[in-house]
Structure 1
Amino acid sequence: MFENLQAIGVTDTDKIEKYTLRTEGAYDILKIYYKRDKREMFARSEKFKYPRQQKRVKVDSGTGKYMNTTEIAPTLRYVIEELDAIAKREVKETDVKKKILGDLRHLEKVVQNKIEEIEADLEKL
């Protein structure tokens, strides 16, 4: 029934609780969360990485200038449609301030990890 989810290896569709989708650089990161069993301490999740589709768009028809842009991959779009049908996701108005603060905290962690990685590489030299 859910061909696109089965194509990426998701077979336990009745246990899907929610999903998140974010963009990091030239990739879209899809994370699927499953319902937690009573004996499990943490909920199980799977992460999938999709490259963004590259497009050239004409921005000025008078001068013929083009601009490179990216958009979500078509295969990911089909997977999201199936996930919406499964999770019966309600579109909620999220507090913009909370979303921005969450994104900022995530960025801080990513940058800190990268700094530590570079410092470790420098120590090896």
Structure 2
Amino acid sequence: MFPHLTALGIQDPQQIERYSLRQEAHKDVLKVYFLKQKGELFAKSVKFKFPRQIKNVLVDGGSNQYREITEISRSLTLIIDELNKITKPEQLSDADIKQKILADLSHLENVVSNKIAEIEADLEKLK
């Protein structure tokens, strides 16, 4: 019934509670969260990374200038369609969208600061 999700290795798609999707560099990161099982402290989740499709788009026909753009891969759109059938996501209000953007920014800040600390630690080792 959900061939794209089972192709990812998800054995029981009906156990999916929600998902999140974000973009990192030239990849889309899909995180699928499952229903919390009895006795588990945290719900199980799995993460998948999909490379973005790169396309050259004509910017100005007169000068033959092209610009490289990236977009979500077709396989990921099919997976998201299946996830939407399972999770039936609700439409977000503007306030919810703002909160999501702020959460994404906070996550990005954490990722960048952790990476900077890692690089600085590597530099210290070289001294």
CA change 1:94–1:34 in 2 (3 A) is: farther
Q: Which runs of 5 or more structure 2 residues have no equivalent in the other structure?
A: none
Could you tell me which residue of structure 1 aligns to residue 106 of structure 2? 105
Could you tell me which residue of structure 2 aligns to residue 87 of structure 1? 87
User: What displacement does 1:51 show?
Assistant: 0.4
SS of 1:40's partner is: coil
Q: Which runs of 5 or more structure 1 residues have no equivalent in the other structure?
A: none
User: What displacement does 1:97 show?
Assistant: 3.1
Separation in 2 of the partners of 1:26 and 1:40? 34
CA change 1:4–1:106 in 2 (3 A) is: same
Could you tell me which residue of structure 2 aligns to residue 74 of structure 1? 74
Could you tell me which residue of structure 1 aligns to residue 46 of structure 2? 46
One-letter amino acid of the structure 2 residue matched with residue 18 of structure 1: R
Q: Spell out, residue by residue over 1:48-78, the C-alpha distance to the aligned partner (whole angstroms, 9 max, x if none).
A: 0000000000011121110000000011011
CA change 1:94–1:37 in 2 (3 A) is: farther
Separation in 1 of the partners of 2:45 and 2:93? 24
Could you tell me which residue of structure 1 aligns to residue 19 of structure 2? 19
Give the paired residue count.
125
One-letter amino acid of the structure 2 residue matched with residue 9 of structure 1: G
User: What displacement does 1:108 show?
Assistant: 1.3
Q: Spell out, residue by residue over 1:70-124, the C-alpha distance to the aligned partner (whole angstroms, 9 max, x if none).
A: 0000110110011111112222224243233212211210111111111111122
User: What displacement does 1:38 show?
Assistant: 2.5
Could you tell me which residue of structure 2 aligns to residue 117 of structure 1? 118
Q: Spell out, residue by residue over 1:11-56, the C-alpha distance to the aligned partner (whole angstroms, 9 max, x if none).
A: 1111100000000110000000001022111011000000000000
Q: CA RMSD in A?
A: 1.2
Separation in 2 of the partners of 1:8 and 1:26? 20
Q: Which runs of 4 or more aligned residues in structure 1 lie more than 6 Å from their structure 2 counterparts after TM superposition?
A: none
SS of 1:6's partner is: helix
Could you tell me which residue of structure 2 aligns to residue 28 of structure 1? 28
Separation in 1 of the partners of 2:108 and 2:33? 21
SS of 1:48's partner is: strand
Identical-residue share of aligned pairs (%): 53
Query: Structure 2-normalised TM-score?
Result: 0.92
